[in-house]
Amino acid sequence: MTNESLIFKKFLARRDLRFTPERKAILEAVFDTHRHFDADEMVELLHKQGKKISRATVYRTLDLLVKGGLIRAMELGEARKVYEHIIGHKHHDHLICTGCGRIIEFDDGLIELLQQKVCDRLNFQAETHSLRMFGRCENCR
């Protein structure tokens, strides 16, 4: 059993929920996906794999994975939400194109340093943060 499976199984058990075959299949598909995805794309992927899992089950399971700290949801406006797994990935920030929807991941040590300086100056201990910048990519300008 993978580390993600163990974490999710323990999370579910603490809430008196079962680690069903459907939840296991969704978890595996999520962690086999190495890009941002939305719930409908996950439903389509599972169906292509021959899994008969309802859209509602996918949405509920993605919500549980977020609450369990295994994946992150990002609201992108216009009722669009995408997910990415966070276990095994280092922190990064996002540039989001409002033209084509492209998501560009980046990591900049200077930005991280500036954020820490702000926290220090304001005597604030950050637990996590998310930086998303919206604009137009090179192809959409």
**Residues within the annotated binding site?**
91, 93, 97, 100, 112, 129, 137, 140
Query: Cβ(107)–Cβ(91) under 8 Å?
Result: yes
Q: Where are the alpha helices (DSSP H) in the chain?
A: 3-14, 21-32, 39-48, 55-67, 109-121
Binding positions for Zn(2+)? 97, 100, 137, 140
Sheet holding 132-135, edge to edge: 103-106, 93-97, 132-135
Tell me how many helices (H) and strands (E) the chain has.
5, 5
Judge residue 109's burial from the number of C-beta atoms within 10 Å of its C-beta, 0-12 exposed, 13-18 middle, 19 or more buried: exposed
DSSP-derived 3-state class of residue 37: strand
Binding positions for Fe cation? 91, 93, 112, 129
Query: Cβ(70)–Cβ(83) under 8 Å?
Result: no
